[in-house]
Amino acid sequence: MPEKQDTTAQPSAPEAETQNGQPEETKVDSNGQPSDEDAGDAGDAADALYPLTIHLPRDPNKIHVMVSPQEQVHELRQSIIELPSAFQYSCFHLEHAGERINDFVQISDVKGLGPEAEIRLVEDPYNEKEARIHVIRIRDLVGAAGDRTDTLQGVMPGVSLFDSVTTRAKDNDNVQASAYDFDAPANPLALIPGEEEPAPKTVKSIALSPWNPPPYHLRQKGHLLYLLITTNEGEQYQITSHVGGFYVNKSSNSKFDPMPRAAPKGHAAHSLLTLLTQISPSFSETFEQLLQYNNHKDPLATFQMTNAIPAAPWLVPSQNSPLLAHTPDITRTQEGYLISGVDNTDTLRDWNEEFQSARELPKETVQDRVFRERFISKLFADYSDAAARGAILVARGEVTPLNPTEDRDAQIFVYNNVFFSFGADGVGTFTSEGGDDAARVATGKDVNGVRLVNQLDIDGLYSPATVVVDYLGKRIVGQTVVPGIFKQREPGENSIEYGAVEGKEIVAADERFAATFEKLSKALQVKKHPVWDKDGKRFDLEASVETKGLMGTDGRKYVLDLYRITPLDVLWLEENSTTEEQKTELDYPHRMTVLRSELVELLRNHNWNEWVNKELERLKQKSKSKSEGEQTDKEEKPSSTEEKTTEEKEEDKPTESSEDAAMEDEDRIDASEFQFSLNPDAFSGQVPQTDAEKEELAADEEDVRNACKYLREIAIPTFVDHIKASDLPFPMDGLSLTKMMHKRGINMRYLGKIVSLCEGPRLLRLRDLCLHEIISRAFKHVAGKYLRYLPIPLTSACIAHLLNCLLGSGFNSNPTADIDESLKALYPEADLAFASVTPESLRKEIAAQVFRRFRFTLDSDLQFQMKPLQLLREVSLKLGFQLQAKNFQFTSDSSTGNTTTTNGVNGHASGDGKKKKKKSRDGSPSSVNSITVPTTFTPDDVVNIVPIIKDSAPKSAISEEALEGGRHSIMQNNRKIGQELLLESLTLHEQIYGILHPEVARAYSSLAQIYYQLEEKEAAVDLARKAVIVSERTIGVDSAETLLYYLNLGLYVHGSGDSKAALAYVKHALDLWKIIYGPDHPDSITTLNNAAVMLQHMQAYHESRIWFEQALAVCERVMGKQSLPAASLLFQLAQALALDNESKAALGKMRECYNIFLHQLGPENNNTKEAETWLEQLTQNAVAIAKRDKDAQARRLRAGIRFPPRNVALGGGGAGATAQPAALSANKSDKPDARSIDDLIKFIEGNTAQKKSTKKRTARSGPKTRVGAAA
């Protein structure tokens, strides 16, 4: 993406655009961040940048910008108005050689427009819409917009802690940089950003005047809006917005006269910004200060998000914190009018038509694909936002249903052109499958299915955009309105043209759908199969009978109900099914137990490998001569590539055919002979009629049974083994565990099975994490039951009471629900069942849900072993709670030392905590009056509930392809092409998703890692920094991904020489770890180890040894004292102690290390031999030092002085730091190792890669040690 050069106009220029929340984010970033794109663009001739001169109507009269021929003219416009010298323009057009340029053409299409060309910016007359846009823009720009009204994103959405972490690092010296309290409990307040100076105020207010809108006769004269501006000097001005610009008029609050004022107070300008400069003497200075103030922040931390929903933190500051200051601003409520006009129609959109037209955009050239994907990405972001807002209104009962006479769960709604229904079985469709539970699962599976179809992007197949929103126990599905879905049909005529109609009794199989459905089924490994209607008539369908085809009145083929694109998990159903008569409360709640599509893909690859190997074996048997043997060797290639690939099979076919081309005809493996597909309707009640049909169905059922066996006997044990062997990074929280399981095709219902496989010290941690996830999921269902139909104002009391019963029973074993009596009286019909819940009854409900959903029995005392803060976080993230941040008191005695207690209480004595509780409740008179015994949570602690949104947006294919291509080229040593592709991929990610998007954060992180390996350290640090900020704002300040990005940033910053800043990031990551996981996460061993090495680089030997000791302590607790990783750490610790002149302790640790190596690896192993050599050297050294200390002590005694011997050793060690041969001669040197400190550090660094940390390997230059190999 092209780089915009700044103008010479204002010194504060480069990041002033941070004020501007315009949607075209891609430009903004390249503006603020020039460094990493120039290199790529320079090497790309087709995309070469060239300069243009823009002539402005006012001072500074001309500016220069760099453009790319691929850019659209409207992108150039956006770039111009983001330059400080052109802030004032919003209503204008561009002219070249006297001709007006169309905003929506590419720059290369403008005739005669080339390098050094001159373009004129011409101000246009305003219309009402342009005037409204201009007012919104200027309010944003001058900081007069205040906090927005927002019903969706919650408190402090998209917050970033990066700036405050970095600022703290700058003030530290070496000692502070290394100081860290490893045993301190987790501090929830670490997730709250530091308070900062308020922004300079440029103007008191810019509001719409009460004289709005202009009367008809004045509209005829070109009046558009009337504004009321109060300047910092306290003067009030009535302004007319006219087609020709803005001017001060003669109106007052009581008299209406919108004509221009006479001089000297008569000011007029085309732009409101210029007018402000004229009427307020202090405006220019304060506006300059505001730009400076905004430049102090990282631009990424302040941009408005337009292409993603910002992450809402689960902990927020108290309501009287300056961070949440609620300021008066009358225009806040008028913004709806400013944005959407008088009748609010500017924002109404025909979503379905937009989506389907976007799919029909051309995708032949790269430019076409980029434009199309960018358009679709923006559309999905807008739609998800609109659907989520509508869903909240539906949940709150603020939208009138289309069928108000129906039952509550059967009601449907249309709001903002989105069709809403509840994810519950309102009309009995799923009665046989499990009712509401089945319907809820089906909607979730349907969203995943729609996302898959969108990703496959099959020509001629359309799907309604689908969003599922979970809010206060309700699940609401928002879909675009498919044209014709509400059409009244003739008797006997069905709206569904393919698949099941009205249950499965009637089946339709319109031939027009067969070809497109065949493409879909082929991509999803679905087998063409027969189904039978109620009369036994056979239909051959391409997809599951549940997947429906509908012909829209717009002539497009729509696919609906994609919740059954994979077969049922029959083994689970057989284990847990009962007949209707035997049904009990503890049965599995539904029959929608489908396999995951990832599992089907893995199984296909597994079968493909087996098939290829068999074919190769057959060819080898057949071949006689050497040449034939060579040909069969060539054949092996497809198999090995296939093992690595889990993408769609279509991508693999070309490789195979090209390999095969070299073969002689009779010796070719024909890839088309390989068949793999599954029948999604196996085991779902189909009744075949003939014997042949019965045989065919039995074979299909056997295939499905084998797939289920693969899941149980291969996928799950392999997953557990990989975590045990550290081949996979250890999951940090429920979300990362869920992602890892889903990626390997494992459904969450198998958590109980995973728990049963967890044995051994490392896997006990996995067991605890799985139990946390099981309990938080069970609590989600229990809480949903109580919240679903509860009036909104009573939900805070319900949530606080349920959390007290779940987590606060150690503090108050008999909590009572704190319900406001005045509210209770307003809702006499409300079901207040939650008030009777006790800790004991909640525990039973959770245990019942755990048994039902995971087939796992909870120990009765398990609740007491849970980590309360971590469980609170999991529950809050799953249900969307935003709680007031404080040191939650989970037990009555906060001074006890166990982790359960101190986890949430930050070292406060219990009395102090109680005082704090009361203080936080004083705000609400109702809560103080109604309750006396303190509880962990009060209704006031529940600040807000945000919706949990699942959308069906596909990922961008082209940017992923460029990233993979770049990686591939670099692996093949084509560095130049590789780097160009990587830069291209970065630009594509930013263009398609906008800068602030989770996928962009992941791309930044991947690229940072690659650049670091290529020794491009500055670029790596810059990208890693962006990854952290974007991840904090879009995924969450305490998400597992953000933590990982902080760790990587620490490594890259250390690699480029700033170990002090690196330690600040590492310490912040450790703080996050305590909150996300609790103490002793297995992967934190590597992090502690890395930090110790950083301290050695800073020559803080004593501090580094403390970090090594901590790493060893965690390792011994996680892996066991006799484990090989513990031995590796002992080895390093011994060296660190030697550097810290603790030769006796060093000797002890080296001896322990030697014993473990000897025991585990045997005397011949290189590690054992190395440890033995060091042991001998340290022994000789210790003897020499002891002898020397004894002599020194004797001398001192003769002189009558007494000093502890260590100081002498310290003094002695510092001097003779010259290098000596490796063999230690104790009498020559008083140092622990005769090599120089630098040599020792190099040696230590070589040994830091001992643990197999899959993620953070880039930290060290040293190779994997022999420990890994031997183990």
pLDDT digits (tens, 9 = 90+) for 1027-1081: 999 999 999 999 999 999 999 999 999 999 998 999 999 999 999 999 999 999 9
Mean pLDDT of the chain: 82
Q: Above 60 in pLDDT, residue 422?
A: yes
Top-confidence residue, 347 or 408:
408
pLDDT in tens, 200-235: 999 999 999 999 889 999 999 999 999 999 999 999
> Among 214-228, 526-540, 666-680, 742-756, where is mean pLDDT lowest?
666-680
262: tokens are: 């006479």
Torsion of CA 185, 186, 188, 191, to 10 degrees: 140
- Predicted local confidence at residue 335, as pLDDT: 83
> Among 59-73, 603-617, 1214-1228, where is mean pLDDT lowest?
1214-1228
Top-confidence residue, 1085 or 296:
1085
Confidence band, pLDDT 50/70/90 cuts, at residue 932: low
Task: Give bridge partners of residue 64 from the DSSP assignment.
Answer: 53
Top-confidence residue, 1082 or 11:
1082
Q: Above 90 in pLDDT, residue 850?
A: yes
pLDDT in tens, 158-194: 999 999 899 888 877 778 888 899 999 999 999 999 8
Name the pTM for this structure.
Answer: 0.84
- Predicted local confidence at residue 632, as pLDDT: 43
How many angstroms separate the CA atoms of 551 and 558, rounded? 6
Among all chains, which residue has been given the structure tokens 């129906």?
406
3-state secondary structure of 65: strand
1096 near 1241, Cβ under 8 Å?
yes
Confidence band, pLDDT 50/70/90 cuts, at residue 31: very low
How many angstroms separate the CA atoms of 1109 and 1115, rounded? 10
**What angle do the packed helices 435-456 and 511-523 form, to 10 degrees?**
90
How many angstroms separate the CA atoms of 373 and 989, rounded? 10
Distances (CA, A) of 227 to 148, 211, 230, 267: 19, 8, 10, 14
pLDDT in tens, 972-1003: 999 899 999 999 999 999 989 999 999 999 99
How many angstroms separate the CA atoms of 2 and 829, rounded? 62
Going by C-alpha positions, the residue among 662, 942, 903, 695 that lies closest to residue 796 is 942
Q: Above 60 in pLDDT, residue 30?
A: no
Q: Above 70 in pLDDT, residue 920?
A: no
Q: Above 70 in pLDDT, residue 15?
A: no
Going by C-alpha positions, the residue among 110, 44, 98 that lies closest to residue 71 is 110
How many angstroms separate the CA atoms of 50 and 45, rounded? 11
Top-confidence residue, 802 or 858:
802
881 near 314, Cβ under 8 Å?
yes
Among all chains, which residue has been given the structure tokens 């203080």?
919
- Predicted local confidence at residue 921, as pLDDT: 39
At position 737, the amino acid (one-letter code) is L
Going by C-alpha positions, the residue among 457, 249, 189 that lies closest to residue 1075 is 189
Mean of the pLDDT values across residues 742-760? 94
Distances (CA, A) of 1143 to 1151, 1203, 1221, 1231: 12, 18, 19, 9
> Among 326-340, 408-422, 662-676, where is mean pLDDT lowest?
662-676
3-state secondary structure of 413: strand
Q: Please state, for a pLDDT cut of 70, what percent of the chain lies above it.
A: 83
pLDDT in tens, 101-129: 998 888 888 888 888 889 999 999 999 99
The answer to whether the bond into 530 is cis (omega within 30° of 0) is: no
pLDDT in tens, 252-262: 999 999 999 98
How many angstroms separate the CA atoms of 629 and 53, rounded? 67
Going by C-alpha positions, the residue among 458, 477, 480, 452 that lies closest to residue 467 is 477
Contacts of 244 (CB under 8 A, 6+ apart): 125, 126, 222, 270
How many angstroms separate the CA atoms of 1193 and 1204, rounded? 9
- Predicted local confidence at residue 832, as pLDDT: 93
Task: Report DSSP state, residue 225.
Answer: E
Mean of the pLDDT values across residues 695-713? 94
How many angstroms separate the CA atoms of 412 and 394, rounded? 9
Cα angle 938, 939, 944 (rounded to 5 degrees) comes to 125
How many angstroms separate the CA atoms of 208 and 329, rounded? 11
Confidence band, pLDDT 50/70/90 cuts, at residue 595: very high
- Predicted local confidence at residue 893, as pLDDT: 67
Mean of the pLDDT values across residues 1242-1256? 39
- Predicted local confidence at residue 16, as pLDDT: 33
- Predicted local confidence at residue 506, as pLDDT: 86
- Predicted local confidence at residue 149, as pLDDT: 67
Q: Above 80 in pLDDT, residue 1204?
A: no
- Predicted local confidence at residue 1229, as pLDDT: 31
> Among 593-597, 765-769, 898-902, 944-948, where is mean pLDDT lowest?
898-902
Mean of the pLDDT values across residues 336-347? 74
Q: Above 90 in pLDDT, residue 1234?
A: no
Among all chains, which residue has been given the structure tokens 């402000």?
276
942 near 883, Cβ under 8 Å?
yes
Q: Above 90 in pLDDT, residue 793?
A: yes
Q: Above 60 in pLDDT, residue 540?
A: yes
Top-confidence residue, 1186 or 630:
1186
Mean of the pLDDT values across residues 542-557? 91
- Predicted local confidence at residue 762, as pLDDT: 86
3-state secondary structure of 881: strand
Give the distance from CA 1083 to its chain's centroid.
20
pLDDT in tens, 425-466: 888 888 888 889 999 999 999 999 999 999 999 999 999 999
- 443 phi and psi angles, rounded to 5 deg: -65, -40
